[in-house]
Structure 1
Amino acid sequence: MHHISIRTADIHRAIAFYECLGFRMETRFTTGYTLACWLVGWDSRIELLAIPEPKPAVDGFHDQHYVGYYHLSFDLTVHLGDRLTLADWLDTFKTQLGEQGLPWQLLLKPTQQVIGDRLYQVAFVADSDGLPLEFLWELGHVS
Structure 2
Amino acid sequence: MAFVPSLPLPTLSSSSAAPFRSSKRPFKPVHTRVIRASRSESSPTESAGQVRRAKNPKELHLLYAVWNAVASDEGLPSLAPDELDAASSTVHLIARAPDRSVSGAARLVRTGQNARLDRVAVLPKWRGKGVGRALVDRLLVLAAPVEGAIYVNATRGEMGFFSILGFETLGNEFIDGIVQMRTMVYRTPVCAPASGCVGLHHTSVRVSDIERSLAFYGSLGFAVTDKFVTGGGQRACYVEGLGTRLEFVEANDGHGGLSGLQGVPHTGFDRLVFDVTKACTDLETFLQHLERRNGGMMNVAAQPAKQVAGSHVVSVASVYDPDALPIDFIRREAQVPSELRTKVDW
Scaled by the length of structure 1, what TM-score is found?
0.51
Aligned to 1:69: 269
- The one-character-per-residue Cα deviations of 1:57-101 (angstroms, maximum 9, x if unpaired) are xx93342612221111100014x1xx42100000010111116xx
Q: Mapping of 1:1-143 within 5 angstroms?
A: 42-43=190-191, 60-63=260-263, 65-78=265-278, 80=279, 83-98=280-295, 103-143=297-337
In 2, Cα distance between equivalents of 1:93 and 1:106: 11
> Shift of residue 128 of structure 1?
1.2
Identity in percent: 26
Looking at structure 1, the residues matched to 314 and 272 of structure 2 have their Cα atoms a distance apart, in angstroms, of 16
Alpha-carbon distance in structure 1 between the residues aligned to 2:291 and 2:267? 29
Aligned partners of 2:313, 2:264: CA distance in 1, in Å?
24
Larger Rg: 2
Instruction: Tell me the CA shift for residue 42 of structure 1.
Output: 2.8
Q: Which residue of 2 aligns with 1:12?
A: none
Look up the match of 2:108: none
Q: CA deviation at 1:119?
A: 0.2
For the residues of structure 2 that align with 1:122 and 1:62, how far apart are their CA atoms? 20
Cα distance in 1 between the residues matched to 2:311 and 2:263: 28
Query: After TM superposition, which residue ranges in structure 1, 4 or more long, deviate above 4 angstroms?
Result: none
Distance across 1 between alignment mates of 2:320 and 2:335:
28
Say which SS state the counterpart of residue 124 (structure 1) adopts: strand
Letter in 2 for 1:68: G
Q: Which runs of 5+ in 1 are unaligned?
A: 1-40, 46-58
For residue 317 of structure 2, what is the amino acid of its counterpart? A
Q: Deviations over 1:110-142 (max 9, x none)?
A: 010101221000011001111100100000112
RMSD: 2.4
How far off its partner does 1:107 sit? 0.7
Give unpaired runs (5+ residues) of structure 2: 1-188, 192-198, 201-258, 338-346
Spell out, residue by residue over 1:37-74, the C-alpha distance to the aligned partner (whole angstroms, 9 max, x if none).
Answer: xxxx63379xxxxxxxxxxxxx9334261222111110
Q: Hey, what does 2:88 align to over in structure 1?
A: none
Q: Secondary structure at the match of 1:90?
A: helix
CA distance in 1, matches of 2:307, 2:262: 18
Q: How many residues align?
A: 84
After superposition, the Cα gap between the structure-2 partners of 1:122 and 1:64, relative to the gap in structure 1 and judged at 3 Å, is farther
